[in-house]
Amino acid sequence: MYNLCHAEDAIRLRKSHMDLIEKGQVLTGYFRLMNKNGGYTWLQTCATVVCSTKNADEQNIICVNYVISNRENENLILDCCQMEPSVDCIKHEELVSDKNSGSPNSDAAPEGQAGVG
C-alpha cells in the first residue's frame, strides 16, 4: 500500500497504520492513491482489526475505502510504475534478442561476409 500512496501522505498513513495495530480501529485522514496511468485519487479509509472465532491468534484487517475525488492531475507521473511501456523500447529489445539468438555454429554466414567453403 505504501508504494501506491503519494509520498507526502506516507508518514500520516504509517501513523494511522500504527494506531490501527494499537487500538484495533482507525479512520485515516484524506490521502492520495496513485492511479495506474498518472495522477492520483483522494481517499479515506476506515479500518478495523477482526479476530477469528476459531483461532484467537488469527487477526484480519477489514477496510472500507471511501473515494473522495475523481482522478486529479491525470497527466502527472509520480512514479515510474505509472509510465506506459515505450513501443520503441520494446521493438529495440526484440531486435537485439533476435540478432543474439543465432547460434555461433550455424551454417549462415554473418551479414556482409561470404560463406567459406
- Residue 13's alpha-carbon distances to 45, 68, 84, 103, in angstroms, are 10, 16, 27, 54
**pLDDT tens, position by position, 52-108:** 888 878 889 999 999 998 766 666 565 555 456 655 555 545 555 555 555 455 455
- Assess if residue 1 is contained within a domain: no
- Assess if residue 2 is contained within a domain: no
> At 15, which CATH number?
3.30.450.20
Q: Are 1 and 13 in contact (CB under 8 A)?
A: yes
- Assess if residue 57 is contained within a domain: yes
- Assess if residue 81 is contained within a domain: yes
**pLDDT tens, position by position, 27-61:** 999 998 888 777 888 999 999 999 888 887 888 99
- Assess if residue 115 is contained within a domain: no
How many domains would you assign to the chain?
1
Question: By residue range, what is the domain housing residue 35?
Answer: 7-100
- Assess if residue 51 is contained within a domain: yes
- Assess if residue 108 is contained within a domain: no
